[in-house]
Structure 1
Amino acid sequence: MLDLDLDAMDLGDLKKLQAKVSNAIKTYEDRQRKTALAELEAKAAEMGFSLADLTGQPGRKSKVNPPKYRNPEDGTQTWSGRGRQPAWIKDALAKGESLDQFLIVK
């Protein structure tokens, strides 16, 4: 173990040492986590499973927002109300129509 005289160090050196120690701890924990995960994935694969199968986690899939608005002229065109407005919504709003008239559930 290092034998440092912390009392003899000035504040700047102590803060630099603290930052280095914090970084070293984080990288050590990351390496340990990756090693453990690799071992668990290998063991699961050895038994014919994926780690997601065993933990019940479906993996990282984005959440799909259900449609909130529907085009009355073409029922296949829907919009969740998030993100960019589709052209049919923009056109209707430009004509002065209300967004409420396109609600699926009123």
Structure 2
Amino acid sequence: MSANLKSMTRKELEKLLADVKKALQTAQSRDRRDARKAAEKAAAEFGFSLNELGEDAPAKQKKAKAPKKAVKASKPKYADPADASRTWTGKGRQPNWFRAAVEKGIAPSDLEI
């Protein structure tokens, strides 16, 4: 079947598209039916029905993960003596102002809030 698409009108093309979609649905239904018959035959060879085999499927499925809890922001533990708006929680990498203050001889306990 070779259709010259360039010479077809828009309505003819839309009808062709609808026919193709319908044919695809029919083919999918036929393939699904054939697959089910083949699966039933294979299960019957082992003495089972598809319904009996389908009962085990939910037990093997993975559990849904619980949603993660929001992480609370840590409270600041240290403040820059020159600018109190610059703070550090004491976790992670040391800020430059903290490192410079310690190098000058200021004790970390003196920088605590």
What is the TM-score of this pair, normalised by structure 2? 0.47
What is the TM-score of this pair, normalised by structure 1? 0.50
